Amino acid sequence: QVQLVESGGGSVQPGGSLRLSCAVSRSIFSIYAMGWYRQAPGKQRELLGTITSGGLTNYVDSVKGRFTISRDNAKSSVYLQMNSLKPEDTAVYYCNRIPNLLVWGQGTQVTVSS
């Protein structure tokens, strides 16, 4: 069974940076696209961006230019570098395979506050 484990969240001030990691438990990771998502309190989970198996990325407008997704197929991991963080980026962040696995990881909390 594939498992997703997100880490790297924390509390930062506006304008700060964080790097999130997502470890995927199965070696089939390398053939799938991956996505980063977030869910803020009272809101639906939203897709932030994707990365193909070959490393091509795409982002939603709200994070474009601030967030960068990368992956290391040898480590079965995907990363989210977040710069210029804003209070509205506060949320629980998740990764998932594309197409999505039914079972999501626990996520990692990101809080942006002064």
Q: What is the mean pLDDT of residues 81-90?
A: 98
Q: How confident is the model at residue 86 (pLDDT cuts 50, 70, 90)?
A: very high
Residue 98 predicted with pLDDT over 80: yes
Q: How confident is the model at residue 101 (pLDDT cuts 50, 70, 90)?
A: confident
pLDDT score recorded for residue 111: 98
The owner of tokens 């710069």 is 83
pLDDT score recorded for residue 25: 83
Contact 76, 29 (CB under 8 A): yes
Q: What is the mean pLDDT of residues 45-60?
A: 97
Residue 10 predicted with pLDDT over 90: yes
Cα distance between residue 81 and residue 9, in whole Å: 11
Residue 26 predicted with pLDDT over 90: no
Indicate the average pLDDT of the chain. Answer: 95
The owner of tokens 């438990």 is 25
Residue 2 predicted with pLDDT over 90: no
pLDDT score recorded for residue 102: 87
| Three-state SS annotation for 21-76 | EEEECCHHHHHCEEEEEEECCCCCCEEEEEECCCCCEEECCCCCCCEEEEEEHHHC
Q: How confident is the model at residue 27 (pLDDT cuts 50, 70, 90)?
A: low
